[in-house]
Amino acid sequence: MRSSRPRLRTGMAVAATLSMVTGALALGVQAAGADTGPAGRSMLHGTKPMWATAKADKGTTASSKEVSARVYLAGRDAAGLAAYAKGVSDPSSAQYGKYLTPKQAKVRFGATKQQISDVTTWLESTGLKVTGTTSHYVSVSGDAKAVEKAFSTRLHNYAKGGKTYHAPDSTASVPESLRGAVLTVTGLDNAPRVSHHADTLPPPDPAFHNAGPFSTYYGSRTNKSLPNAYGSKAPYTIKGYTGKQLRAAYGAKNFTGKGVTVAITDAFASPTIAKDAAEYAKRNGGKRYKRGQFSQVLPDDFNVASSGCPDPAGWYGEESLDVESVHAVAPDANITYVAGKSCQDDDLLDALSKVVDSHLADIVSNSWGDVEANQTPASQAAYDQVFQMGAVEGIGFYFSTGDNGDFQAATGTKQVDTPANSSWVTAVGGTSLAVGKGNKYKWETGWGTLQASLSKNGKNWTGFPGPFTSGAGGGTSTTVPQPFYQKGVVPGSLSKANGTSPMRTLPDISAVADPNTGFLIGMTQEQKNGKDRYSEYRLGGTSLASPVIAGIQALAQQARHGVPIGFANPGIYQRYGTSAYHDVTDHPLGAGQDIAVVRNDYTDTQDPSSPTRTTIRTLGHDSSLSATVGYDDVTGVGSPGSNYVTSYKTR
């Protein structure tokens, strides 16, 4: 199995409950039973990680310990920002579509010079060194003693996951005079944080090779000598769908995304992406890129060696998948790649902020994330502020939901992905897609795969249907309450899966993700002979679904004469139950009728001369999640149907 899902933020804290109006916790709005803190101080709730427990406490942090932090600024009107973001995105609101320019948004909701000055003066007065200032935050560094003085807390060392990290032993706070100026602070715990310095990007990873035989469309090639699966011979997996096939499946019609710009954020940057994308389009019937159609916004330097990102070069495939699939679906859309200098929160937030501050695009695809247990309320508040600022400008953010189903097998706990769990982004789930002869849409299942191997004598499938291997992320958040647009659509059995209160449920919408019915990509890779050259292979994961939906949204925006869709969820749910969607289920051929495909893989995927192994992959079995009639926790409201794009023409 080859999917694409770069991870980030390992070892961060379990999140506490947040409301849809970001900043209620961080801005000192008192929650029931919350720590009131010292007199004359405004509490920054959520800044003490939940893993910083008395049981895990290993004593005080050395006062000389160096700490780097970011103090995020709340701006003029945090509550007003959330309210405006909701109104401008809701088709039923009189405020709908009345977007602000970046300048107008900054004037109305951004931090004031006085707030920046007041926060800076206070930080310096505590002995901390201000290392940077933007319109979003003030970054500081100093020893633990100065940090403790500034935020009226003590830093202790705590055991977590076999390692030791420092963190506040109580909720951090700021002077009461700064209530309303400070949104939150990040970096008081170091599990882990980023140390910035210039690095050279690494060379590409070793090449990945798919083994044939392949189908060119679903069912085009079958081996009659292999054992039956579910009463018939299963076809070989797709070599990799093309843009033409995906456009036909999702109702692109004659729309091409002309006049629309899609931004893509990832960590790092492939040194060969422009050349690779052009070569891919040339080889696979895609439209040639026009001058200036693809551009990149890169940081001054990258943070590779000390970032804690395990495989920086692994992000090259992610970027290739994102860029090439957006162009395949929306061949006339402009694409802007915005790179984070590392895979950590601060650097990815900077990349997202660049998109919003300069309105680089109306649609932003993000194929990265982490599990909800690794999120802190402080980081979520910072992310949501960016998403809300984007919403008031008419910018929509799309996030993949993960490739491990309910994450039970991967983490020991059923949970969802973040930032896909935010109420202010569109969470994109995954499907297994069958496109037949003549590019005809046949069916989809929810992406969830069981795998069994061919027996040594070739007469049966050993342990059929086999264990779960991968599937689209989804489920119910434990931290984010149900947003208004999900009410009346998401069944209570899902929204209340974790208790009596309805919570945010993922995903919102879905598209092809299964690597067995995935997308063919091309990129420069290190070959077996040690040389770098362009080669192609099939790739999947919800990292494919997100840019595919972003491309479809570009077509929809063109259909409404270029008027931005903005934060799309209210409109997505407004269309629920209409012909705009394929209502995806796990058994599209009928109740009890399972579907499987045959796949060959090299025993060494980097060596196409190695022997092959044959397996049978059963589709539509996503851990404990199920794609059912109506809204479900694998595919959301469904995948774009033949009328999805044109449904935006009259809205």
E strand segments, 495-580: 503-506, 509-512, 519-526, 532-539
Instruction: Judge whether residue 1 has pLDDT over 70.
Output: no
Tell me what pLDDT residue 249 has: 98
Tell me what percent of the residues of the chain surpass a pLDDT of 70: 93
Indicate whether 9 pLDDT > 60.
no
So what's the pLDDT on residue 219? 97
- Token digits for 183? 């949104």
- Give the 3-state secondary structure of residue 369: strand
Encoded tokens for 365: 């695809």
At 323 the pLDDT is 98
Q: Which residues contact 391 (CB under 8 A, 6 or more apart)?
A: 85, 88, 89, 424, 566, 567
- According to DSSP, the β-strands at 334-340 and 426-435 are unpaired
The pLDDT-based confidence of 14 (bands split at 50, 70, 90) is very low
pLDDT of 280-325, one tens digit each? 999 999 999 999 999 999 999 999 987 889 899 999 999 999 999 9
CA distance 201 to 313: 8
28-42, 138-152, 216-230: range with lowest mean pLDDT: 28-42
Confirm if 619 and 595 have CB atoms less than 8 A apart: yes
- HEC string of 120-161? HHHHHHCCCEEEEECCCEEEEEEEHHHHHHHHCCCEEEEEEC
Q: How confident is the model at residue 199 (pLDDT cuts 50, 70, 90)?
A: low
Quote the tokens at residue 79.
């509550």
Task: Write the pLDDT tens digit of every residue in 174-191.
Answer: 999 999 999 999 999 987
- Please answer whether residues 599 and 538 qualify as being in contact, where contact means their C-beta atoms are separated by less than 8 angstroms: no
Query: Using 50, 70 and 90 to split pLDDT, how confident is the model at 375?
Result: confident
Instruction: Check residue 651 and give its pLDDT.
Output: 52
CA 615 vs CA 239, 301, 462, 598, 602: distances in Å? 16, 44, 9, 6, 11
pLDDT per position as a tens digit, 544-578: 999 999 999 999 999 999 999 999 999 999 999 99
615 token code pair: 């397996």
Percent of the chain with pLDDT over 90: 88
Residue 382: partners with Cβ closer than 8 Å, 6 or more residues away:
70, 72, 137, 183, 184, 186, 345, 349
With beta carbons less than 8 A apart as the criterion, state whether 238 and 517 touch. yes
State the Cα–Cα distance between residues 72 and 186, nearest whole angstrom. Answer: 8
Residue 26 has a pLDDT of: 38
- Would you state the structure tokens that stand for residue 527, as one six-digit string? 């070959």
Find the mean pLDDT for residues 624-638.
98
pLDDT of residue 193: 44
Query: Residue 29 has what pLDDT?
Result: 35
> Residue 192's pLDDT band (boundaries 50, 70, 90)?
low
- Buried/exposed code over 172-205 (b: 16+ C-beta within 10 A; e: otherwise): bbbbeebbbbbbbbbbbbbbbbbebeebebbebb
- Asked whether 268 and 311 are in contact (CB, 8 A), the reply is no
What is the per-residue pLDDT across 443-472, written as a single tens digit (0 to 9) for each?
999 999 999 999 999 999 999 999 999 999
Cα dist from 432 to 318, 330, 541, 587, 615, whole Å: 19, 21, 10, 11, 17
Round to whole Å and give the CA distance between 570 and 89.
7
Beta 261-267 vs 334-340: how paired, if at all? parallel
Residues 406-413, mean pLDDT to the nearest whole number: 93
Instruction: Please count the other Cβ atoms lying within 10 Å of the Cβ belonging to residue 60.
Output: 15
Q: What is the pLDDT of residue 23?
A: 34
Residue range 593-599: mean pLDDT, rounded = 97
- Residue 27: pLDDT band (50, 70, 90) is very low
**Radius of gyration (Cα) for the chain, nearest Å?**
24
Measured N-to-C along each axis, helices 102-109 and 377-392 cross at an angle, to the nearest 10 degrees, of 130
Confidence (pLDDT) at 305: 84
For the chain, give the mean pLDDT.
Answer: 92
- Dihedral angle, C-alpha 354, 355, 359, 362, nearest 10 °: 180
Residue 32: pLDDT over 50 = no
Give the Cα separation of 387 and 394 in Å (integer). 10
The predicted pLDDT at position 190 comes to 87
**What single letter denotes the amino acid at residue 366?**
N
pLDDT of residue 435 exceeding 90, the answer is yes
Work out whether strand 155-160 and strand 163-168 pair parallel, antiparallel, or are unpaired: antiparallel
Of the pLDDT bands very low, low, confident and very high (cuts 50, 70, 90), residue 211 is very high
Looking at residue 200, what is its pLDDT? 73
| Dihedral, CA of residue 385, residue 390, residue 391 and residue 393, to nearest 10 | 130
Report d(CA 20, CA 502) in Å as an integer: 13
Note the pLDDT tens digit of each residue in 77-126.
Answer: 999 999 999 999 999 999 999 999 999 999 999 999 999 999 999 999 99
- 6 contact partners, CB below 8 Å, separation of at least 6: 266, 267, 311, 314, 315, 318, 343, 367, 368, 543
What's the gap between Cα 267 and its chain centre? Answer: 12
Pair 64, 148: CB distance under 8 Å: no
